Amino acid sequence: AQEIDEINILRASFLAMHRAIDQLPFRPERLLIDGNRFDPIEGIPHHCIVGGDAHYCSIAAASILAKTYRDDEMLRLDTDFPVYGWKQNKGYPSPSHKSAIRVHGASPHHRLTFRGVTKT
């Protein structure tokens, strides 16, 4: 959350993709990016595809894996911070989640630059 607040969500997304690619045991021949922008990696061609998860099975699979990982992380965080209801809302700004932030303040896992976290 702190890194996203420092560099913004788009740059953090690019950085996360770069970090993931750096950890691969091989160098990809090509990258398919779900979206309209990407910070290029030298020597690896990329293609940005808006709505790519509807056009490429590999992007759809990556999206499912990312959401599954996120949901599991929300369940884990819910055990440490149950007041935010992450088990139910998966981090989305539901009315009860916004209320919990008003009452308890933000946790270390909240993005402080996200609209509604500091001013709910």
Tally helices (H) and strands (E) across the chain: 5, 2
Q: What is the dihedral of CA 19, 21, 26, 29, to 10 degrees?
A: -150
* Whole-number Å distance between alpha carbons of 53 and 56: 6
User: Which pTM was predicted?
Assistant: 0.82
Contact 34, 59 (CB under 8 A): yes
pLDDT in tens, 88-115: 999 898 999 999 999 999 999 999 988 7
Q: Where are the domains of the chain?
A: 2-104
**Residue-averaged pLDDT of the chain:** 94
Residues of the chain with pLDDT under 70: 118-120
Q: How far apart are CA 104 and CA 66, in angstroms?
A: 28
DSSP 55: T
Tell which CATH classification among 3.30.420.10, 3.30.2020.30, 3.40.50.10950, 3.40.50.620 matches the domain 2-104.
3.30.420.10
